[in-house]
């Protein structure tokens, strides 16, 4: 019987999923449940070579969202399988694994308890991750459940990069240090960038810009995570949709004193009411920020400028940390689709050998193909690589089932081979190229 793998990625208000037939190497279904817990929930469900189906259904929590996913997958008209028992294993994305996990693991009660202990470090993500695991285990008790941690990729950072200049006993007793996040995405993109460069992945120096609602930059030295912008929690670093990123921590203490905010209220302000939302007062989505900026909204333009300036500063800092940069890579929703954010982040970096082609940058708006936007005289290769966290989860899950899994330095993924193809993305790229004249000319393939 074919091994059917379900991948679940439970975000703070969403559940992304993919159903994959490992033996036939084909995606059976994929989709996302959005607006979980905030009203107006819906599921966008997609099957290969069929139009996307949208189902409106209220999901007050992640348990309800997981149940809705299972209903779509087994639906008699547009489902992909006849019964949930056909699912052999479930791979779960978990944001925070602390120092406990440097690699993916099969989920046991002890592993789940560790995730609960770490929830205070990722309050927006670990709790929904845990709810998703518990809901899936309840619906699929016989399946193997695997956890893939975002923090695992960054366990190679040296102490001088992950330690804070705080009382050392805080690290010893409470684990206070830089952890970093988005590791599953960064692993995929780093391996693909090495393939496009035609280099051994453990000989590549990269700066990867993961820009979505959450934003982090990663300095990759000789194929290993060397430094990253997110820290003890996902709050530190770049300007994000609703997170403050880098700021003077005394500001929070001052505002708590003068306005009487509790620690819980301040945590909510910094994580949910700051970032682009804090500056603009109303926008989180970059498309809305850009449209408002273009229509003359000064605060929207300021928010965009602040975001790009911060990204540019980190690129410069990481170039200094690495000493040599083989490629600068943009990924995640905004990094893949916003030519404006990419341009604003690279303008002025010509002295570092980073020169982009404006026309190519404007064309690179696809989540289905890898594009090169380098100018002819750029000393650093510039790529836009759509991330595929779910693919990493699929391969780690299967490898754990087959007892052949290992850390990424001793493990080769199928997407590291030059003949690897994602059928769903290939068909999507054909549609994108038909809509965007010139796009096909900047799509880059491994040699």
Q: Tell me the per-residue pLDDT of 109-166, one tens digit each, with 9 for 90 and over.
A: 999 998 888 887 777 778 888 888 998 999 899 999 999 998 999 999 999 999 999 9
The CA dihedral of 226, 227, 231, 234, to the nearest 10 degrees, is: -90
> What pLDDT is stored for residue 423 in this prediction?
80
Q: Identify the burial level of 278 via C-beta atoms within 10 angstroms of its C-beta, where 0-12 means exposed, 13-18 middle and 19 or more buried.
A: middle
Catalytic residue among 51, 58, 150, 285: 150
Residue 393 pLDDT more than 90? yes
Each as own residue / partner, the long-range contacts of residues 41-47 (CB below 8 Å, 24 or more positions apart, any chain) are 41/65, 41/68, 43/68, 43/69, 43/72, 45/72, 45/78, 47/78, 47/80
The CATH code belonging to domain 201-385+422-442 is 3.30.420.40
Contact in structure between 299 and 280 (CB atoms under 8 Å)? yes
Check: CB of residue 337 under 8 Å from CB of residue 361: no
Which two three-digit tokens encode residue 106?
């099969």
* Among candidate residues 210, 232, 206, 231, the one with its CA nearest the CA of residue 219: 206
Q: How far is 351 from 341, CA to CA, in rounded Å? A: 19
* Each residue's pLDDT tens digit, 205-236: 999 999 998 999 999 999 999 999 999 988 99
Which residues make up the CATH 3.30.420.40 domain(s) of the chain? 4-149+390-416, 201-385+422-442
Using only C-alpha atoms, the chain has a radius of gyration, in whole angstroms, of 21
User: Torsion-angle region of residue 22: left (phi > 0), alpha (psi -120 to 50) or beta?
Assistant: alpha
Per-residue pLDDT at 424: 77
> Is residue 61 annotated as part of the catalytic site, yes or no?
no
With contact defined as beta carbons under 8 Å apart, do 39 and 26 qualify?
no
Listed in sequence order, the residues at least 6 apart from 444 whose beta carbon sits closer than 8 Å to its beta carbon are 196, 370, 371, 372, 383
What is the pLDDT, as a whole number, of residue 422? 87
> Mean pLDDT score of the chain, rounded to an integer?
93
**Residues linked to residue 318 through DSSP beta bridges, in sequence order:** none
| Class level of CATH domain 4-149+390-416 | alpha beta
Per-residue pLDDT at 62:
86
Q: Alpha-carbon distance 148 to 146, whole Å?
A: 7
Query: What is the band of 48 on the pLDDT scale with cuts at 50, 70, 90?
Result: confident
What does the block give as tokens for 268? 């909510």
Inform me whether the pLDDT recorded for 308 exceeds 90: yes
CA dist 87 and 430 (Å) reads: 30
pLDDT grade for 78, boundaries at 50, 70 and 90: confident
Residue showing tokens 């004249």: 437
Please list the residues that pair with 211 across neighbouring strands: 215
Calculate mean pLDDT across residues 178-203: 96
């Amino acid at each position: 019987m074919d091994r059917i793998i379900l991948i679940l990625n439970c975000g703070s208000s969403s559940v992304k999923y993919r159903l994959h037939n490992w033996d036939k190497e084909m995606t059976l279904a994929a989709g996302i449940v959005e607006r979980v817990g905030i009203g107006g929930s819906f599921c966008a469900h997609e099957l290969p070579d069929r139009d996307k189906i949208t189902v409106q259904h209220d999901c007050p929590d992640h348990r309800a969202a997981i149940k809705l996913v299972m209903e779509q997958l087994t639906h008699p008209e547009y489902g992909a399988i006849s019964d949930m028992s056909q699912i052999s294993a479930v791979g779960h994305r978990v944001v925070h694994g602390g120092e406990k996990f440097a690699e993916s693991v099969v989920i046991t009660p002890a592993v789940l308890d560790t995730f609960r202990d770490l929830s205070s470090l990722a309050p927006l993500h670990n709790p929904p991750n845990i709810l998703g695991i518990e809901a899936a285990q309840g619906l699929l008790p016989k399946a193997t459940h695997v956890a893939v941690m975002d923090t695992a990729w960054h366990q190679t950072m040296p102490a001088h990069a992950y330690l804070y200049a705080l009382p050392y006993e805080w690290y010893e007793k409470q684990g206070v240090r830089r952890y970093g996040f988005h590791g599953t995405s960064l692993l995929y993109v780093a391996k693909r960038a090495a393939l496009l460069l035609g280099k051994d992945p453990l000989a590549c120096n990269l700066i990867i810009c993961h820009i979505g609602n959450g934003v982090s930059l990663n300095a990759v030295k000789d194929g290993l995570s060397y430094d990253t912008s997110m820290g003890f929690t996902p709050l530190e670093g770049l300007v994000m949709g609703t997170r403050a990123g880098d700021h003077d921590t005394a500001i929070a203490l001052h505002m708590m004193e003068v306005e009487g905010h509790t620690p819980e209220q301040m945590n909510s302000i910094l994580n949910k009411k700051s970032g682009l939302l804090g500056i603009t007062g109303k926008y989180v989505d970059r498309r809305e920020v850009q449209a408002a900026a273009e229509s003359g909204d000064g605060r929207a333009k300021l928010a965009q400028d602040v975001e790009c300036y911060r990204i540019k500063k980190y690129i410069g800092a990481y170039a200094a940390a690495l000493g040599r940069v083989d490629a600068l890579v943009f990924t995640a929703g905004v990094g893949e689709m916003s030519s404006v954010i990419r341009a604003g982040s690279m303008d002025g970096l010509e002295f570092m050998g980073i020169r982009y082609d404006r026309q190519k940058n404007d064309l690179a708006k696809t989540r289905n193909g890898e594009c090169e936007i380098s100018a002819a005289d750029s000393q650093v290769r510039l790529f836009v690589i759509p991330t595929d966290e779910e693919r990493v989860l699929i391969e780690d899950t299967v490898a754990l089932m087959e007892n052949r899994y290992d850390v990424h330095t001793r493990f080769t993924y199928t997407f590291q081979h030059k003949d690897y193809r994602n059928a769903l993305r290939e068909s999507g790229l054909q549609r994108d190229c038909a809509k965007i004249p010139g796009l096909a000319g900047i799509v880059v393939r491994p040699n």
